[in-house]
């Protein structure tokens, strides 16, 4: 996922654990978090719980990309904790790009997502995939 996003023009920063992802989210305040539920250290549902309890990160939309069955206890807990969307692996290149555009495009600056209103300034996202957490930043776009 990181390579696809880099090739799509996004800056990508990687972390190796759920705890590191939490620290990065608190420091960077991304516009979107895309994460797996199977992370080293803390499982993804615990990462989500901590992010949603923290006043600095609770409004960030969280998209889960997982191989867990949609009716599994961990997916149901993630939904109960307030994830914005659940995607199931494998996630295609096109689906990944569409998801990034849907949530982070400047065209969506007025769109209301559950518990989050995207600011119109810098676009960024933190992506946690399998054992990697990746933060993606969109450069500020200038109107032509």
Q: What is the pLDDT of residues 8-20, one digit of tens each?
A: 776 666 767 899 9
User: Which pLDDT tens digit goes with each residue over 33-91?
Assistant: 888 899 898 999 999 999 999 999 999 999 898 999 989 999 999 999 999 999 988 88
Token pair belonging to 130: 């399998």
Residue 142 pLDDT exceeds 50: no
57-66, 83-92, 101-110, 127-136 — which is least confidently predicted?
127-136
- DSSP, collapsed to helix, strand or coil, labels residue 69 as coil
Token pair belonging to 28: 């960077």
pTM: 0.72
Of residues 75 and 125, which shows the higher confidence score?
Answer: 75
Looking at residue 106, what is its pLDDT? 64
- Rounded distance between C-alpha atoms, residue 24 and residue 63, angstroms: 16
Q: What is the mean pLDDT of residues 106-132?
A: 45
Strands 32-35 and 62-66: parallel
Looking at residue 143, what is its pLDDT? 38
Average model confidence (pLDDT) for the chain? 75
Looking at residue 144, what is its pLDDT? 37
* CA distances from residue 27 to 24, 31, 78, 102, 138 in whole angstroms, order as listed: 5, 12, 22, 24, 17
Query: In 3D, which of 63, 100, 67 has the Cα closest to residue 83?
Result: 63
Looking at residue 7, what is its pLDDT? 78
Domain-wise residue ranges, the chain = 2-108+122-138
Residues ≥6 apart with Cβ < 8 Å to 51: 22, 25, 33, 57, 58, 60, 62
Residue 27 pLDDT exceeds 70: yes
How many C-beta atoms lie closer than 10 Å to residue 76's C-beta? 14
Q: Look at domain 2-108+122-138 and name its CATH class.
A: alpha beta
């Amino acid at each position: 996922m990181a390579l696809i996003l880099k090739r799509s023009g996004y800056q990508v920063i990687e972390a190796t654990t759920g705890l590191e992802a939490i620290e990065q989210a608190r420091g960077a305040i991304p516009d979107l978090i895309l994460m797996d539920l199977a992370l080293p250290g803390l499982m993804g549902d615990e990462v989500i719980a901590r992010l949603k309890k923290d006043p600095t990160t609770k409004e960030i939309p969280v998209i889960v990309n997982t191989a867990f069955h949609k009716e599994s206890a961990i997916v149901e807990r993630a939904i109960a904790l307030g994830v914005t969307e659940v995607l199931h692996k494998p996630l295609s290149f096109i689906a990944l790009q569409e998801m990034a555009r849907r949530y982070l495009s400047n065209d969506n600056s007025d769109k209301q997502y559950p518990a989050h209103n995207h600011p119109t300034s810098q676009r960024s996202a933190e992506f946690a995939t399998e054992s990697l957490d990746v933060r993606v930043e969109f450069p500020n776009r200038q109107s032509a």
